[in-house]
Structure 1
């Protein structure tokens, strides 16, 4: 900042910024209004101090951590919409930028994150209710909001998606909408609320599809380490797929093999043993390839199924008629690395 700009800024601060005592009192009011969700009063305060960068900075920072836009329906409520309009008409927003398309995601701050969430949720609402009289954000602004949110929320998004995949924990509405899970999750929720005995088969199918799609979304997010509980769960499923490939009757092990597991991996317990084994092998190979991408470990599938085929050939040889001879005892081969069985 040059001398001329510095002088102008000092003049502006002298005219527009509240003194310390007033600012301290205003900050107490801001925290109270945000905590108690008194958005109309907060809007009045924002309009009163629209030229103050200090006051609006505090408002924006507190709001960005308050989950102001938890759902599309909440986002378009009058008091929240008026608050965002008031914030956009401030010196602070003029200085920091109101157009998301002009913001580099890596340089976006918490204020831009709040604007991005507001834009995303408004667009989601107007997709469902196009008859609304509210102005719809431009496609460019919506794309920019997604870029900003993807960059700054990727760790929390992965955590939510993995908890949904493993424990069926409800995701935030943003995550459900962003990753295309909202319709299935809403259907499952309605099914669970419909009565004490929801349609079992439909529920299993929905849970399996939600799980698969949540896994796909989580694994598509780059530069984020997947949580241990997620990898451990998938490793257990890899082991079960190996069990079924080796012994197709394992599908009837109700203690370790659940119906939703079979549905998830496309295994028909009523098919022939050969078909079940082939279905399990296909699923094993696909999951093994995912592990290679997720963790960088070496693939196990070829070695594992070669071991299975070798074992079956040995059994077949034992069953063949052969001359009687004294058996030669050998040391058992090393078990080596455990690979899903």
Structure 2
């Protein structure tokens, strides 16, 4: 005789699985609690259904969809810690793989990605505030965390870094921490906020003098980070911005007076490429040529196009030679035509 399902569950020291309607109610309740970020109540819901892999899967998916761990501090409150501890103790998470070092990054699911983010943010918090008493994740788990997140978030990371480099659009806290930009972004945000809220002329002048180099340093760091991501597909906006800046550097290299063009060249640009606005024109041209060569090399590597620097430098040298010839007292006679007109035609004036 076939043993009923609920009797078999009891014989295995398990409670019977909830039915379809109850699972639907569990999912709705989990959705409501994650929307309110009520992790303490979620911990209670997890403990109530810890015997059911189906119920815990639905709860875990709702938690993962809410992206709850947006900053290091978000992992440290009591309710969140209880929720994650209860979740890790379930049969579902043990089968799903709560040891991140044992997970293949390319096969990690959404719940494992959520667990990786929790581990990453918690580690970041405890590194900054080690005396808070929490237990730091092992180095092996942290390394596995970054492999999983790099695999799952590659597109988003590249997009956020391109936005920061091109338009000073602030990325997520994760991107700031992951790519070592947190201090630079926090300093820039502080200066932006201060300049917007204060009218103290002397302090405002001091902050404005430091604003350009700080913004330039942040943009350079974002460019270095995004171009260092293997296989990154950079946005059109990012590439167009670099191409425009290359053109501006070429203008300054040929004619240093261009640094006084406020419509197309600002202080952030000059600091970013190491052009001293107080230097002599010849020195500014040399600085622009150096920056042009470096940016041109980067674009060649990124886009696999031919280099432009040699052509620019050749034209600059040719221009100097023509200027020297024009200024020389020997240039009083008419130039010799290298390709004389054909016979039977008169030479024009």
**TM-score relative to the length of structure 1:** 0.89
CA distance in 1, matches of 2:85, 2:237: 43
* 1:119 paired residue number: 119
* 2:27 paired residue number: 27
How big is the shift at 1:307? 2.1
1:268 to 262, 273, 276: 276
1:255-275 Cα distance to aligned partner (Å, 9 max, x none)? 111011000000001111111
Larger mean Cα displacement after TM superposition, 50-59 or 261-270: 50-59
CA distance in 2, matches of 1:60, 1:224: 31
Q: Any conservation in 1 of the 2:161–2:225 contact (CA below 8 Å)?
A: yes
CA distance in 2, matches of 1:147, 1:16: 38
Q: Do structure 1's residue 324 and structure 2's residue 333 form an aligned pair?
A: yes
* 1:306 paired residue number: 314
1:291 to 271, 283, 299: 299
1:12-31 Cα distance to aligned partner (Å, 9 max, x none)? 8x954211111111111111
- Matching of residues 1-341 of structure 1 within 5 Å: 15-194=15-194, 195-196=198-199, 197=204, 199-320=207-328, 321-325=330-334
1:283-338 Cα distance to aligned partner (Å, 9 max, x none)? 001101110111111111112211221232233223333353378599xxxxxxxx
CA distance in 2, matches of 1:44, 1:326: 94
Q: Classify 1:326/1:85 alpha carbon distance in 2 versus 1 (closer, same or farther; 3 Å).
A: closer
Larger mean Cα displacement after TM superposition, 55-64 or 139-148: 55-64
1:16-71 Cα distance to aligned partner (Å, 9 max, x none)? 42111111111111111112222222111111111222112122222222121111
CA distance in 1, matches of 2:141, 2:53: 25
Structure 1 residue ranges without an equivalent (≥5): 1-7, 331-341
CA distance in 2, matches of 1:139, 1:324: 78
**TM-score relative to the length of structure 2:** 0.87
1:67-116 Cα distance to aligned partner (Å, 9 max, x none)? 21111111111111111111101111110111111111111111111111
* 2:342 paired residue number: none
Q: Any conservation in 1 of the 2:164–2:219 contact (CA below 8 Å)?
A: yes
CA distance in 2, matches of 1:190, 1:323: 63
